[in-house]
Amino acid sequence: METTLRGVGVSHGVAIGEVRHMGTAVLEPPAKQIPAEEAEREQGRARQAVEAVAADLIARGNLAGGEAQHVLEAQAMMAQDPELMADVERRIAVGSTAERGVYDAFASYRALLAGAGEYLAGRVADLDDVRNRIVARLLGVPMPGVPDSDEPYVLIARDLAPADTALLDPALVLGFVTEEGGPTSHSAILARALGVPAVVALPGAGELAEGTLIAVDGSTGEIFVDPSDAKRAELESAAAARKAALSAATGPGATSDGHKVPLLANVGGPADVPAAVEAGAEGVGLFRTEFLFLDDSKQAPSEEKQIAAYRAVLEAFPEGRVVVRVLDAGADKPLDFLTPADEPNPALGVRGLRSLLDHPDVLRTQLTALSKAAEGLPVHLEVMAPMVADRADAKAFADACREAGLNAKFGAMVEIPSAALRARSVLQEVEFLSLGTNDLAQYTFAADRQVGAVSRLQDPWQPALLDLVALSAEAAKTEGKSCGVCGEAASDPLLACVLTGLGVTSLSMGAASIPYVRATLAKYTLAQCERAASAARAADSAEDARRAAQAVLSGE
């Protein structure tokens, strides 16, 4: 009998296939004591396992490339964290085995993060995966991972670590469903990059029996268990129609009546550029430069290294628009040379622009490198600061850009509600706004963007969030300036129409989403988008907002 479940759709497309569950290993080692004379040998085993796991993660990243590579390299750094390793060795010195020392040290770190309200607590899948891989290697048991299968299937897991998601074979893994995670988790972002339909935050997903036939709609978040022939035909027809629309829609982003909405790509570095170009991106709306800095958490990259990385991206979009976000460090991206180590809640502490203003030499070097990278290129360079709270922040950033001799537009990211509420004030100092809807939702609803339990409040369809977008867009229009969206909200085709109706002037997203957004925008007039936006803002919940916008655009 057909039943319907609903999670959070995070990657477009439809997948129909049999359930296969993520493999698990026996990962809690026995708590037995070792003689003191064995401690040194056990410490050596632990170090070897850590280095082997880090090397494996880096190798997987090299195979995956693009954004996945950056994520996996960050995981490798997590495995090699010197404080964690020191804790492991301390535990072994007082009698733990290598595997038990690793297990307990990670458990302690995990508990500390959760107890401190740490923003990193949302990265539990990443942390647990590193622990599991080290312990599995020490125990000599198989790594938890994607099941072996000769036939295509839909993967079910409690959560998917980046190391698993990055190397999924789309020819075998038709789609995936997880119990945990959120729309802005690493796995969700990588799923979109792979083009694999995915649904996260589905309670009870693990209870779906192995071999059960399910249909996954990554756009709506719906899971159809034992779908009828009629439902399968309906979903397949919709998928075919969507594919045909994608092929038919080409060129710059625009509504059906010609209102232009540039469609830009979010990139983490040069490796992400080919996919953006292939998708027809009109430029880059968010160049996340922190991945360059995360290569070495002890010191900032040299000016020469930064110039090379920036120029590789700028050269890919001759006469296009490239919006660079200066280093957004802190919270889930701590850097030893830049961010405090003892903040009780780093998400609300010294992160983003605040860190850079505390370390003006780091900001100055980055701005100088950007200036030199753009020399002689016809690209339209724009540089923006993360975590701008008010006009004083915006002025400090603009002053730093001018002092560095940067020939570019200066902008501010709207990620803190105060910046949206006082957008006209902020725009007295900068030339454009860019809405980071992931963090804006987090700070508006006090809901960690990585925690599945509060994913309802991370839904970008929340009317309160749409109100803040509208405030920012209206302020920019009044000041004769631009206001784009570079958060994951832009990757939702229906929501892209609503954002356009709210007055947003450009949309930036993962490259894989650009064709879907382009095709959907081309179906509606600006007036229809505006009516859909009004209907969404008049709703009282995210679900009602989506339904109201859909009703307007479908002519109901």
Question: Which of 12, 70, 401, 486 is labelled catalytic?
Answer: 486
Two tokens, residue 169: 């074979």
- In this structure, are strands 3-6 and 222-225 parallel, antiparallel, or unpaired? antiparallel
120 touches 332 (CB < 8 A)? yes
User: How many Cβ atoms sit within 10 Å of the Cβ of residue 152?
Assistant: 17
How far is the C-alpha of 168 from the C-alpha of 33, rounded, in Å? 39
Q: Measured between alpha carbons, how far is residue 231 from residues 3, 204, 224, 340, 546 in Å?
A: 11, 22, 8, 53, 22
Nearest to 198 by CA among 169, 178, 224, 218: 218
Q: Which of 186, 483, 497, 529 is catalytic?
A: 186
Q: How far from each other are the two terminal CA atoms of the chain, in whole angstroms?
A: 30
If residue 264 lies in a helix (H) or strand (E), which one and from where to where?
A: strand 263-267
Contact indicator for 193, 266 with CB cutoff of 8 Å: no
Reply yes or no on whether 497 is catalytic: no
Contact 428, 507 (CB under 8 A): no
Retrieve residue 468's tokens: 């803040």
The tokens for 38 are 């064995």
Dihedral (Cα; 235, 240, 241, 245), 10-degree rounding: 140
| 201 phi and psi angles, rounded to 5 deg | 55, 45
Residue 85, number of CB atoms within 10 A of its CB: 18
- The one-letter amino acid code at 462 reads Q
Q: Which two tokens stand for residue 123?
A: 């990265």
Residue 372, number of CB atoms within 10 A of its CB = 17
E strands within 128-211? 153-157, 173-178, 198-200
Q: How far apart are CA 308 and CA 289, in angstroms?
A: 12
Q: So which residues are the catalytic ones?
A: 186, 486
